[in-house]
């Protein structure tokens, strides 16, 4: 009754309602469907970067594996644990924490609910029911660093990090090595947006910092800052300079401005976790994604074809091979003290 | 008292009616939304514990705002006071990791209170010396506190083993969660004896304000500075003391958040408790005992709304905030409602 | 005189607030060209009545007839349109603007056009000469005297063609000379055929200006008199509702008394202080009166005396043979000083506190009330109740908020509090302002009692009756300086009034 009334009043709701009915149908008709909970960090589902990648992973799992999912965007850090507990209490099969800030909560809740599977992006929790998904960010950063150095005319290149944490320093260190490989005399400017989770979602400040770098003659900037990346893209377009995106393929956002994107295939990692669980192959422990298994890469598509010349592409592919063969060892911030 | 209770109840009813309307408009069954909210706030011991957990810091910041308010000062600076005070308490615990809990925790809280109180006092002192308005100075002091705290946490006390900006864990002499009687009752909700302390503090503040000479002077100053002056009350002294006490109250958030649940200082742990404290205090008309209830209402609503995002299809995170605020506004209007009399 | 048809007529007007009737069955009529005085104590219903006539309140029952027609007034705008104008006790003027601009503002004709200075000015000048009003139309109002500000308010009404002019306590803020001037204007208005209502509790003035008097008590008209046929005593009795006896005040014999309080060349640090350099002394058991038109340094003097550390610029203050020039209020109070401040509401009480809590103000350091910083509630309640009983507080309550008491009873609370504990020296500033006759008598008695206990009083007032009655000695100040000194027996309204206005003896 209630829904019928609604349809009359708000025709726009129609589609949603139909899909809702459909959803209800699929849920009831497929009792075996996997329930996946996705807990995103402060960047939010629409950051077109890190969280969007994770979201794309569960979307794909829904389409290809027939899972159902529910996602939540974190309001504050205290809420994460309660949210995960809610999901666990509702007997979700797989709970995915996106981002290192979820580590603590995953650690606590996974211990309380040993029968539920967890996946955690960017941090390690050593419980048998937790799969930790780690990425070799420095390798991809190295490659886009090389691209940046080849495109730069001024020899001045910028790195803009989101939150100033070791993870992002790892991006920076790999990127710097890539730049120096091509142009040992290049000058690199490094800056970070903030020290709290807000840094992932502060495009205004990102723009300000980018403009400051451009005004110092920098002509390519690589940003690893989640939803804040938009600030860089805006600034680069305004000043007709180049930007490099991160995590998801961001080339399409501003074609002609964005040279390439350092891909961190969180979507693949998330999808694989769901797939393995569905196929009964889910195991805890740490899974590493790098150039070797295409978990890390750089993006080439129709949006940046004209920007990346054949020579550049050849050179980068060569570097990639050298890394895979061990000929080049990319410096890793996590192992800086070894 | 009875009057206030009835008004609150009426406000809640109207607020929930409004919430029901919104749920209905977006396409959720209003009854289902109400049920989710109720269960999320009170549905289990754990959920109820979380509601109390969210309420606890708000009691501290609400009291902070209320004390200043009684002295006629608008303390927007509870956020900064609690950040510095809580970090100070954490630092104390890190510096003296092996003190016994009976000595260590009170001393850590006291040290936090002194630092938080000092931060509040600055605003009182500036008003006295330079005539700077406390609203401006406390806002500015918030920024300064945030900067100091983030520098200290990330550059000095950063835990080396984690990505997030947070300090190392305090020792188990301070972090007594496993032994905390309330923690055990509430089935793992991060609630702690800090709640009992908060209730005690509220009673203490009430006694201070209404039964002692200092409280009398604070209230007189707040009601009428000129009358206070003619009565021989030193506005300068009383104002500075009140701001110190306000800062000290805010600092006790550390008890709930750090000693009671997290065991370390995490940068940005406060979802603006300091600012929510303003609403908590105003809703309670700055009555310390009333603050216990209004903080609980805020906590329960916060918890209730949190699960809407998970449980329902159309009520998103943002919409749950709308619903939460709507109910609070309804209560606020109801409490201030007077029989209309038009001149 | 009432052969003319009435300009305005009230028929059985009543106004109820809940079950309380502020006005009940009020009927009267005012013929053209009459000055009607309405007197009554505070709370007798004078303001309610005027607000109904001016459209600010709607009567609960009864009618108002204007020029013989029944009219319902819904707003002041409505009243103005029908030729009714009101001058409030507190003027409605923008202080930074000139008289001309203020009048234009009030007319609401400036809206989108250029200010019509010229035409308004022309008409105003004509009105001024017609009614003998002299005002500088160009000066910012804030720089004009209170009397001139009042004239501007009158001009406003005349410009609006008001035929009925209502004045609410018009003389409260005027100096004696200004009052005389004001009365002249009123008489001129009457000559020109305007009808005037004056609300006041100053019986003397009503007697000298009005043609007819209506006495209100408890919301009802208790008497109506033709002014020529009544006298001060009768009106006072009617107003209070009982026979009223004024006791004579006996002057103290002070020749041998010691000095309790002495001030030498005092000036204030306040930025636009009008206090220049003042010296005087008050002896044991003496009431020293200070007369002056308001705004001639009295306020600054009071502040500098009660909080010298904050307000004194130069000069020396001695109290009980101690140099207290750098003392705080708290220290002075603990030496035995008490203060009845100028502005009761702002400085003496806290309106939303109970009468009991208000009693503690100023006594918060006395061990009778505070032990080890705990408030001794029982002792406070007992002492306060006893003191209030002595002053016949109505209602005699410890729990009512101050805002629920009438002005007179509020002042009784302040006096009871400040005179408790037999202070050695009291600064009494306008102790009976806004207070009804019964309370005035009680407060005057209390001030005299201070003398009996060898206390001294500095009485600052703008009410010459009060000063003449109570003072043993009287100083007149003008422009922040002492212009003259009188001892009891030499007081003369004429001489004092002239000094107050800046003239010579």
Other Cβ atoms closer than 10 A to B10: 16
Structure tokens of C420? 């408790």
**Inter-chain contact B310–A123, Cβ cutoff 8 Å?**
no
**Inter-chain contact A165–B267, Cβ cutoff 8 Å?**
no
**Inter-chain contact C373–B234, Cβ cutoff 8 Å?**
no
Q: Is the pLDDT of residue A7 over 50?
A: no
d(CA B275, CA C175): 52
* Out of A137-141, B18-22, B314-318, C241-245, least confident range: C241-245
Domains of chain A, earliest start first: 31-135+267-293 (3.40.50.2300), 137-264+308-335 (3.40.50.2300)
Q: Which pLDDT score is estimated for B308?
A: 85
Question: Residue C209 is inside which H or E element, if any?
Answer: helix C203-209
* Contact status, residue C289 vs residue C427, Cβ threshold 8 Å: no
d(CA C426, CA C443): 13
* Contact status, residue A195 vs residue A202, Cβ threshold 8 Å: no
C192 three-state secondary structure: coil
Q: Is the pLDDT of residue A26 over 60?
A: no
Q: Which tens digits make up the pLDDT trace of A28-72?
A: 434 457 899 999 988 788 888 899 999 999 999 999 999 999 998
Could you tell me which residues are beta bridge partners of residue A161? A192, A224
* Contact status, residue B77 vs residue B119, Cβ threshold 8 Å: yes
The closest CB to that of C348, out of B216, B230, B234, belongs to B230
Structure tokens of C343? 């502005």
Structure tokens of C270? 């306040």
CA distances from B138 to B62, B67, B119, C168, C456 (A): 16, 15, 9, 45, 47
Residues ≥6 apart with Cβ < 8 Å to A244: A144, A147, A148, A220, A221, A222, A223, A258, A259, A260, A261, A262
Q: Cα C149 to chain center, whole Å?
A: 17
d(CA C255, CA C308): 29
**Inter-chain contact A101–B165, Cβ cutoff 8 Å?**
no
Instruction: Find the DSSP H helices in chain B.
Output: 2-26, 30-42, 45-70, 78-95, 101-130, 134-151, 181-185, 194-211, 213-223, 225-230, 235-251, 253-254, 273-283, 288-306, 308-311, 317-336
C408-428 burial string, b = 16+ CB within 10 Å, else e?
A: bbbbbbbbbbbbbeebbbbbb
Rg of chain C (C-alpha set): 24
Chain C residues in contact with B233 (beta carbon < 8 A): 330, 364
A220 three-state secondary structure: strand
**Inter-chain contact C341–B220, Cβ cutoff 8 Å?**
no
B81 three-state secondary structure: helix
The CA-based angle C315-C316-C317, given to 5 degrees, is: 130
Q: Which pLDDT score is estimated for C57?
A: 87
How close A332 comes to chain B (CA, Å)?
15
Instruction: Find the DSSP H helices in C420-463.
Output: 437-452
Q: What are phi and psi of B214, to 5 degrees?
A: -60, -45
* Contact status, residue C40 vs residue C46, Cβ threshold 8 Å: yes
Q: At what angle do helices B288-306 and A77-89 cross, to 10 degrees?
A: 50
Pairing verdict, β A187-194 and A242-247: unpaired
Residue that the structure tokens 């890539």 belong to: A178
Q: At what angle do helices B45-70 and B273-283 cross, to 10 degrees?
A: 80
Residues ≥6 apart with Cβ < 8 Å to B330: B11, B12, B14, B15, B18
How close B174 comes to chain C (CA, Å)?
34
The closest CB to that of B212, out of C329, C346, C375, belongs to C375
Q: Which pLDDT score is estimated for A32?
A: 58
d(CA A272, CA B59): 46
Q: Is B158 on the interface with C (CB under 8 A)?
A: no
d(CA A3, CA A46): 29
The CA-based angle B24-B30-B31, given to 5 degrees, is: 160
**Inter-chain contact B220–C350, Cβ cutoff 8 Å?**
yes
**Inter-chain contact B27–A77, Cβ cutoff 8 Å?**
no
Q: Is B162 on the interface with A (CB under 8 A)?
A: yes
CA distances from C55 to B295, C42, C58, C81, C437 (A): 46, 21, 7, 11, 29
Q: Is the pLDDT of residue B343 over 50?
A: no
Residue A2's pLDDT band (cuts 50, 70, 90): very low
First-to-final CA distance of chain A: 68
Structure tokens of A6? 């609604």
Q: Mutate one of C76, C350, C360 to test the B interface: name it (highest B CB count within 10 A).
A: C350
Q: Which pLDDT score is estimated for C115?
A: 61
Q: Which tens digits make up the pLDDT trace of A221-271?
A: 999 998 999 999 999 999 999 999 999 999 999 998 999 999 999 999 999
Q: Average pLDDT in the A292-298 region?
A: 90
Chain B residues in contact with A83 (beta carbon < 8 A): 306, 310
Q: Mutate one of A77, A84, A111, A194 to test the B interface: name it (highest B CB count within 10 A).
A: A77
d(CA B162, CA B264): 12
Could you tell me which residues are beta bridge partners of residue A35? A68
Q: Which pLDDT score is estimated for C473?
A: 92
Chain B residues in contact with A17 (beta carbon < 8 A): 27
Chain B residues in contact with A77 (beta carbon < 8 A): 266, 268-269
**Inter-chain contact B27–A6, Cβ cutoff 8 Å?**
yes
Residues in chain A: 338
First-to-final CA distance of chain B: 28
Q: Mutate one of B24, B25, B26, B27 to test the A interface: name it (highest A CB count within 10 A).
A: B27
Q: Cα C146 to chain center, whole Å?
A: 13
A150-181 burial string, b = 16+ CB within 10 Å, else e?
A: bbbeeebbbbbbbbbbebbbbbbbbbbbbbbb
Q: Is B232 on the interface with C (CB under 8 A)?
A: yes
Q: Which pLDDT score is estimated for A8?
A: 37
Three state DSSP letters for C41-102: CCCCCHHHHHHHHCCCCCCCEEEEEECCEEECCCCHHHHHHCCEEEECCCCCCCCCCEHHHH
Q: At what angle do helices C407-419 and C377-390 cross, to 10 degrees?
A: 120
Structure tokens of C77? 């705008």
Other Cβ atoms closer than 10 A to B336: 12
d(CA C208, CA C94): 32
Q: Residues 14..53 of B with a Cβ closer than 8 Å to A: which?
A: 27, 29, 46, 50
Structure tokens of B213? 């000479």
Chain B residues in contact with A10 (beta carbon < 8 A): 27
pLDDT in tens for each of the 505 residues of chain C? 444 578 889 999 998 877 778 888 999 989 988 999 998 877 778 888 888 888 888 899 999 998 888 888 888 888 888 889 998 877 888 888 888 888 888 776 545 556 667 888 888 888 888 888 888 888 888 888 778 888 888 888 888 888 999 998 888 777 777 888 899 999 999 998 899 999 887 788 889 899 999 998 888 898 899 999 988 888 888 887 766 666 655 655 666 678 899 999 999 888 777 888 899 999 998 999 999 887 888 889 999 999 999 999 899 999 988 999 999 999 999 999 999 998 888 899 999 999 999 999 999 999 889 998 999 999 999 999 999 999 888 889 999 999 888 888 899 999 999 999 889 999 999 998 877 777 888 899 999 988 888 899 999 998 888 899 999 999 999 888 888 899 888 888 888 888 887 776 5
**Inter-chain contact C352–B226, Cβ cutoff 8 Å?**
no
Q: Which pLDDT score is estimated for A22?
A: 46
The pTM score is: 0.81
A185 burial via Cβ count (<10 Å: 0-12, 13-18, 19+): exposed
* Contact status, residue A158 vs residue A218, Cβ threshold 8 Å: yes
* Contact status, residue A73 vs residue A44, Cβ threshold 8 Å: yes
Three state DSSP letters for A90-106: CCCCEEEEECHHHHHHH
Strand locations in A122-274, DSSP E?
Answer: 130-135, 156-163, 187-194, 220-224, 242-247, 258-264
Residues ≥6 apart with Cβ < 8 Å to B237: none
A with B: 3 or more CB pairs under 8 Å?
Answer: yes
d(CA A328, CA C87): 94
How close A97 comes to chain B (CA, Å)?
15
Q: Is B220 on the interface with C (CB under 8 A)?
A: yes
Residue A21's pLDDT band (cuts 50, 70, 90): very low
Cis before C395 (ω within 30):
yes
* Out of A76-80, B114-118, C474-478, least confident range: A76-80
**Chains in contact with chain C (at least 3 beta-carbon pairs closer than 8 A):** B
* Contact status, residue C383 vs residue C395, Cβ threshold 8 Å: no
- For the CA atoms of B202, B204, B205, B206, what is the dihedral angle to 10 degrees? 90
Structure tokens of C480? 């922040």
B55 burial via Cβ count (<10 Å: 0-12, 13-18, 19+): buried
Q: Is the dihedral of CA C270, C274, C279, C284 positive or negative?
A: negative
Q: What are phi and psi of B137, to 5 degrees?
A: -65, -40
How many C-alpha atoms does A260 have within 13 Å on its Cβ side? 28
Q: Residues 109..148 of B with a Cβ closer than 8 Å to A: which?
A: none
d(CA A252, CA A230): 12
């Amino acid at each position: 009754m209630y829904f019928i009334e609604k349809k009359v009043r708000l025709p726009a709701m129609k589609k949603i309602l139909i899909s809702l009915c459909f959803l209800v149908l699929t849920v009831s008709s497929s009792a075996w469907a996997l329930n996946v909970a996705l807990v995103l960090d402060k960047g939010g589902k629409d950051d077109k970067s890190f969280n969007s990648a994770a979201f794309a992973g569960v979307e794909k799992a829904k389409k290809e594996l027939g899972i159902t999912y529910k996602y939540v965007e974190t309001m504050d850090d205290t809420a994460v644990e309660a949210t995960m507990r809610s999901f666990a209490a509702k007997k979700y099969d797989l709970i995915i924490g996106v981002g290192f800030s979820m580590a603590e909560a995953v650690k606590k809740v996974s211990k309380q609910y040993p029968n539920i599977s967890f996946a955690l992006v960017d941090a390690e929790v050593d419980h048998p029911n937790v799969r930790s998904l780690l990425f070799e960010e420095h390798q991809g950063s190295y490659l886009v660093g090389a691209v940046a150095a080849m495109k730069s005319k001024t020899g001045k290149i910028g790195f803009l990090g989101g939150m100033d944490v070791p993870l992002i320093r790892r991006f920076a260190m790999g990127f710097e090595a890539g730049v120096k490989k091509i142009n040992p005399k290049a000058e690199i400017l490094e800056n970070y947006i903030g020290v709290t989770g807000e840094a992932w979602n502060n495009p205004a400040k990102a723009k300000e910092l980018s403009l400051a770098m451009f005004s110092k003659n920098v002509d390519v900037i690589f940003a690893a800052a989640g939803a804040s990346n938009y600030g860089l893209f805006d600034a680069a377009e305004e000043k007709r300079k180049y930007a490099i995106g991160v995590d998801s393929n961001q080339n399409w956002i501003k074609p002609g401005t964005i040279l390439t994107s350092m891909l961190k295939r969180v979507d693949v990692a998330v999808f694989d976790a769901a797939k393995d669980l569905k196929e009964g192959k889910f195991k805890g422990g740490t899974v590493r994604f790098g150039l070797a298994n295409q978990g890390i890469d750089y993006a080439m598509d129709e949006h940046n074809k004209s920007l990346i010349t054949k020579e550049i592409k050849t050179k980068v592919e060569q570097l990639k091979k050298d890394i895979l063969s061990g000929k080049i060892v990319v410096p890793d911030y996590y192992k800086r003290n070894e | 008292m009875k009057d206030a209770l009835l008004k609150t109840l009426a406000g809640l009813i109207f607020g929930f009616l409004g919430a029901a309307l919104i749920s209905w408009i977006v396409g959720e069954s209003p009854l289902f939304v109400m049920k989710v909210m109720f269960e999320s706030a009170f549905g289990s011991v754990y959920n109820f514990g979380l509601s109390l957990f969210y309420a606890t810091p708000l009691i501290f910041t609400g009291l902070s705002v209320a004390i200043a308010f009684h002295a006629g000062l608008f303390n927007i600076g509870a956020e900064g006071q609690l950040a510095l005070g809580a970090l100070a308490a954490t630092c104390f615990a890190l510096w003296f990791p092996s003190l016994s809990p009976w000595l260590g925790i009170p001393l850590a809280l006291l040290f936090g209170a002194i630092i938080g109180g000092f931060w509040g006092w600055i605003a009182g002192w500036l008003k006295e010396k330079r005539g700077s308005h406390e609203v401006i100075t406390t806002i500015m002091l918030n920024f300064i506190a945030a900067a100091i705290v983030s520098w200290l946490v990330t550059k000095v006390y950063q835990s080396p083993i984690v990505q997030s900006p947070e300090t190392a864990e305090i020792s188990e002499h301070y972090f007594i969660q496993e032994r905390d009687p309330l923690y055990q009752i509430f089935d793992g909700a991060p609630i702690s004896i800090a709640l009992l302390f908060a209730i005690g503090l509220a009673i203490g503040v009430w006694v201070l304000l209404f039964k002692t000479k200092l409280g009398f002077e604070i209230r007189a100053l707040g009601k009428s500075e000129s009358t206070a002056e003619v009565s021989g009350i030193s506005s300068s002294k009383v104002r500075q003391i009140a701001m110190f006490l306000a800062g000290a109250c805010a600092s006790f958030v550390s008890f709930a958040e750090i000693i009671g649940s997290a065991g370390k200082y995490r940068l940005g742990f406060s979802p603006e408790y300091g600012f929510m404290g303003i609403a908590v205090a105003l809703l309670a008309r700055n009555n310390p005992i009333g603050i216990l209830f209004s903080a609980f209402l805020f906590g329960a609503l916060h918890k209730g709304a949190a699960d809407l995002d998970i449980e329902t299809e159309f009520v998103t995170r943002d919409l749950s905030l709308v619903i939460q605020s709507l109910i609070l506004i309804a209560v606020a209007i109801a409490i201030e409602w007077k029989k209309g009399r038009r001149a | 005189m009432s052969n003319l048809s009435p300009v305005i007529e009230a028929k059985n007007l009543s106004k109820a607030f809940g079950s309380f009737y502020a006005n009940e069955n009020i009927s009267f009529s005012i013929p053209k060209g009459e000055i009607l005085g309405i007197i009554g104590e505070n709370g007798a219903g004078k303001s309610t009545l005027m607000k109904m006539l001016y459209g600010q309140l709607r009567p609960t029952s009864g009618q108002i007839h204007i020029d013989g027609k029944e009219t319902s007034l819904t707003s002041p705008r409505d009243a103005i349109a029908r030729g009714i104008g009101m001058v409030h006790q507190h003027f409605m003027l923008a202080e930074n603007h000139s008289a001309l601009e203020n009048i234009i503002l009030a007319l609401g004709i400036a809206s989108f056009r250029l200010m019509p200075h010229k035409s308004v000015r022309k008409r105003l000048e004509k009105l001024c000469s017609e009614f003998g009003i002299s005002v500088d139309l160009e000066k910012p109002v804030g720089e004009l005297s209170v009397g001139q500000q009042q004239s501007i308010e009158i001009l406003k009404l005349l410009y609006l063609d008001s035929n009925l002019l209502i004045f609410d306590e018009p003389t409260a803020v005027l100096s004696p000379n200004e009052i005389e001037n004001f009365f002249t204007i009123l008489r001129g208005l009457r000559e020109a055929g305007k009808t005037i209502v004056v609300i006041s509790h100053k019986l003397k003035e009503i007697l000298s200006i009005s043609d007819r008097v209506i006495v209100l008590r408890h919301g009802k008209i208790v008497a109506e008199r033709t002014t020529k046929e009544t006298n001060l005593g009768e009106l006072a009795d009617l107003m209070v509702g009982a026979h009223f006896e004024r006791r004579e005040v006996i002057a103290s014999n002070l020749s041998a008394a010691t000095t309790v309080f002495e001030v030498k060349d005092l000036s204030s640090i306040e930025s636009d202080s009008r206090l220049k350099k003042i010296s005087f002394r008050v002896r044991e058991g003496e009431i020293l009166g200070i007369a002056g038109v308001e705004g001639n340094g009295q306020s600054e003097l009071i502040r500098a005396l009660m909080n010298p550390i904050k307000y004194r610029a130069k000069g020396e203050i001695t109290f009980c043979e101690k140099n207290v020039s750098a003392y705080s209020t708290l220290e002075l109070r603990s030496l035995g000083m008490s203060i009845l401040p100028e502005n009761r509401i702002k400085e003496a009480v806290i309106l939303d506190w109970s009468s009991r809590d208000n009693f503690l103000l100023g006594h918060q350091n006395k061990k009778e009330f505070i032990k080890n910083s705990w408030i001794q509630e029982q002792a406070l309640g007992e002492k306060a109740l006893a003191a209030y009983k002595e002053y016949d507080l109505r209602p005699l309550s410890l729990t009512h908020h101050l805002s629920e008491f009438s002005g007179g009873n509020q002042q009784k609370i302040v006096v009871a509090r400040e005179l408790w504990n037999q202070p050695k020296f009291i600064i009494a500033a306008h102790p009976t302002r806004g207070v009804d006759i019964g309370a005035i008598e009680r407060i005057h008695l209390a001030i005299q009692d201070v003398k009996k206990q060898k206390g001294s009083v500095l009485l600052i007032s703008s009410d010459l009756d009060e000063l003449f009655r109570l003072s043993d000695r009287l100083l007149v100040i003008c422009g922040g300086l002492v212009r003259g000194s009188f001892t009891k027996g030499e007081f003369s309204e004429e001489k004092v009034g002239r000094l107050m206005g800046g003239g010579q003896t």
